[in-house]
Structure 1
């Protein structure tokens, strides 16, 4: 029989035992050990470590196993010798567009017009109303010719079809869509746009750049529920690829409102650096509302996205000389010099950075001239303004990026996707200064790297591979295309982490695993720094951690 005294002693023993045991839920620290860890440090190169210590979502320390005993009580997680890297930052993408792509017709893989039409017909048979999709690229078809409305009419003629080119700078529509938009032989293209025409002057069914909204304005509208759905889909996909932060290159007012609401409720799936769209009708009100941030650094809105020209694939990029494969055509400037100057001035006065889409050498020069002119009048040079893409730059203009403190925000996969087409458009002699990542770095510019998803796939390891190889996934061409512009592995990772963070004014918060920064990191199946080059392309993300919380686990 147990006495009261014995029971009291037993309870005391249990209480002492519980006091000495700290379950993981109440641990002060979380320690990841037995890792092949790599991070970049500000101006100090690559730092290797085997142990990462985090607390309250932020990095406390990195080092070898000797530091484990310093931090207690702690939850300990064995990384099992796998590679641990900082969370990747995509410095140029379109988040809601990526989410939209997850649920609509995707023509990226079509290898011919016939192949594309087969996919369109199958999709149309399963849907009602408008047939909407994206991803076609005539450069991947044997003919390399733009398709026509007549091609689409053969399979869908009773309802409108609207299919955006892979780069977003051309729209392929059928006759029903042309009819709804009121586009005919007499219709004049808006400034900065082109209606491609048949020999008889009738619209062919291809609308370039500023002509696209002639149809877009008639398409079904999107509400907040749909934007939230696309955001969640995109966030889930990006986390599975190890992307913990993305720069959203041009958001409309509806997306602006959704981002603010989700940040306030702490429900954003990834970190977002959002650029207001210079073409949005609410821009003046958005600038007047000031820069937007949240306490957890999940959202930052402090810049605008300006569009100066089109894309090379649709021959909308503005060039100094004629396109080699379309004599008499130099591309399209989407905004006049006065319009560029006015929107730059408006943004700088509100304290917002200006990130300008410029692909062709003429567009890059005009935009550089505009930055220089507006700086002299309104200031703004210290705002870390950016040139988005900076693909074809006249060599004498490259040094102006450094002089004007313009960050080249570039997408390595564009070089390997465009290399054959770029030579067709420009000829080899005009490719000096094209996709010139190493040249920019050598002069002291920081390159912020991204993918331009959903134009390209969002996989940052494809970008890292392209950056260091200048080759396609099959290893062509041997030695790399314009190989003098290759990056080292360290330079490439910096462009997708620290320098991408710098381009968003966030280098002291994210981009590397240093004390006091958010614990955004990934665990992957490939040793990025030591594996064969081709293995980088095929890297798989096994875990993604955001602010010290597991957000993705490979199944």
Structure 2
């Protein structure tokens, strides 16, 4: 399920926010949520039902249980009747890009483009409506859904906009489609060499065609104007409005810099951070050197913000054939994809973060990328013992079956995105073939060996709606019910497992399970009220469950 136009979703969320009950809660010793059809997971993997939930004026849970049990522990508290609606722990997305989610509202929306012609028309329409923009930027194209059998070209984008540079990011964020003007501004010519970890697509004569894969995108990004402070604030406002409306009380932001860190702290101080953020510093370069001066920030403003991990990249994505494979691509035998760094360079980055006490979270999609990072962890953990840091591999998408047990042996968390499987099923097996697909999107295999999967969406590449993620996890189908029997259904999760990977196990992956992820005394009162019962609806309907209310730390931040 690809991301819906942000403007429509944001407008719904923006008009729905209410703080009335929050004011009531803080006027009394606390608040009791009554008449709830409540569910929470607790230690020992037990699913517990409850009718009432009490939290104090500081937003900490006091009691969970029957109405009588809770009332006895919450004298003088304000009571709020939710009318038998379902109450769940606040949901956690373990891998997203918050500012990226907000920024797509300001550019060309290509997620819904079903053909090259449709994409060109969308770009032309946007360019015509925004003549003041120096660059025309968009997101979401996917040549696989266009059935082109090739990438689009700069000349085709020139037909939409030729007077200004244009840059359209692929749906996976690992390739850019640029026009001739952008190629010229970036100085990309026939003589320009492919950068390490990147590829410039070329025609038979060696000329750049307009497609830049992975690190080659930096050639254009370096001449792309940076967002202004006002644009960044607008992006953050839009993303937060959307996230709270979908029941996400916490997200792991996979790769930020100094500017984002500054805004997150300011929003937390001002009470504007309506979704908790567990951020990862993007790479170990200049921003890391500046942000890591005082060491990992484990908690800021009552756990609204944390900055104690680092995001690195091993390879690219499967759709653009940038994911690094041990053997060549089944549908492109001339390429193995791209490792961003050789082993020594990658380990140097990992070691720098580990030495400073940071959790290391590495993007690895192909089996060669995953093996490189597993080998790196195996070597470095002897030198820098984990000390509870719970290092991760982000995506762990195509893993050699022989390497899957190494996640458990090395205690590495697979941070996975269920909707990737249901979006990729139309091309993944073509890319890797029948044998390698056995280690791809292999949730059941990981769970069976005892791995804790931290689930996310990789928004804005996919929809941030966590119920669509749970739907994909349980059915192995997209929101249109394809394929009919589920794609490799034997790797599906149960409903309880799907809830766990978007709550307790996602919190565990951020070392926050003592304060988040379940509704238990002492934890923050992060919870949602939904219009349907997750455990009663048919699996096919899970992705259509709607959020009625979202509470963060005992404060109601959203009401539909």
Q: TM-score, normalised by structure 2?
A: 0.93
Deviation at 1:33, TM superposition (A): 1.0
Deviation at 1:63, TM superposition (A): 1.0
Secondary structure of 1:250's aligned partner: strand
1:21-60 deviation line (CA, Å, top 9, x unaligned):
xx87632121111111000002241000111111121111
Residue 38, structure 1, aligned to residue 35, structure 2 = no
Residue 366, structure 1, aligned to residue 367, structure 2 = no
- In structure 2, the partner of 1:474 is 480
For the residues of structure 2 that align with 1:405 and 1:68, how far apart are their CA atoms? 38
- In structure 1, the partner of 2:160 is 155
- Equivalent of 2:190, from 185, 189, 204? 185
For the residues of structure 2 that align with 1:204 and 1:24, how far apart are their CA atoms? 60
1:256-304 deviation line (CA, Å, top 9, x unaligned):
2222333344432310000001164222232232112214100111110
1:399-449 deviation line (CA, Å, top 9, x unaligned):
000111100000000000001210111122220111111111111110000
Deviation at 1:237, TM superposition (A): 0.3
Residue 47, structure 1, aligned to residue 48, structure 2 = yes
Deviation at 1:65, TM superposition (A): 2.0
Q: Is the 8 A contact 1:224 1:258 kept in 2?
A: no
- Equivalent of 2:461, from 455, 460, 480? 455
- In structure 2, the partner of 1:443 is 449
- In structure 2, the partner of 1:85 is 88
Larger Rg: 1
1:84-143 deviation line (CA, Å, top 9, x unaligned):
101100000000100101222110010000011111111000113210010001111122
Secondary structure of 1:37's aligned partner: strand
Change (3 A) 1:68 1:502: closer
Q: How does 1:129-140 map to 2 (within 5 A)?
A: 129-140=134-145
Q: TM-score, normalised by structure 1?
A: 0.94
Q: Is the 8 A contact 2:63 2:70 kept in 1?
A: no
1:197-233 deviation line (CA, Å, top 9, x unaligned):
0112110000000000100111111233322221111
Secondary structure of 2:263's aligned partner: helix
- Equivalent of 1:421, from 427, 433, 456? 427
- Equivalent of 2:106, from 94, 98, 103? 103
Change (3 A) 1:381 1:389: farther
- Equivalent of 1:65, from 64, 67, 82? 67
- In structure 2, the partner of 1:11 is none
For the residues of structure 1 that align with 2:403 and 2:387, how far apart are their CA atoms? 17
Tell me how large the CA RMSD over aligned residues is.
1.3
For the residues of structure 1 that align with 2:395 and 2:26, how far apart are their CA atoms? 45
Deviation at 1:346, TM superposition (A): 1.0
Residue 274, structure 1, aligned to residue 304, structure 2 = no
Change (3 A) 1:324 1:44: closer
For the residues of structure 2 that align with 1:472 and 1:289, how far apart are their CA atoms? 44
Residue 496, structure 1, aligned to residue 502, structure 2 = yes
Gaps of 5+ in 2: 1-23
Q: Which has the higher contact order (CA 8 A, sep 6+)?
A: 2
Q: Is the 8 A contact 2:284 2:310 kept in 1?
A: no
Gaps of 5+ in 1: 1-22
Greater Cα offset, 330-339 or 202-211? 330-339
- In structure 1, the partner of 2:400 is 394
Residue 356, structure 1, aligned to residue 378, structure 2 = no
For the residues of structure 2 that align with 1:510 and 1:69, how far apart are their CA atoms? 23
- In structure 1, the partner of 2:247 is 242
- In structure 1, the partner of 2:229 is 224
Query: How many residues of Structure 1 are paired with residues of Structure 2 in the alignment?
Result: 532
Q: Is the 8 A contact 1:364 1:390 kept in 2?
A: yes
Greater Cα offset, 498-507 or 69-78? 69-78
Q: How does 1:188-199 map to 2 (within 5 A)?
A: 188-199=193-204
- In structure 2, the partner of 1:6 is none
Secondary structure of 2:388's aligned partner: helix
Q: Is the 8 A contact 2:269 2:301 kept in 1?
A: no
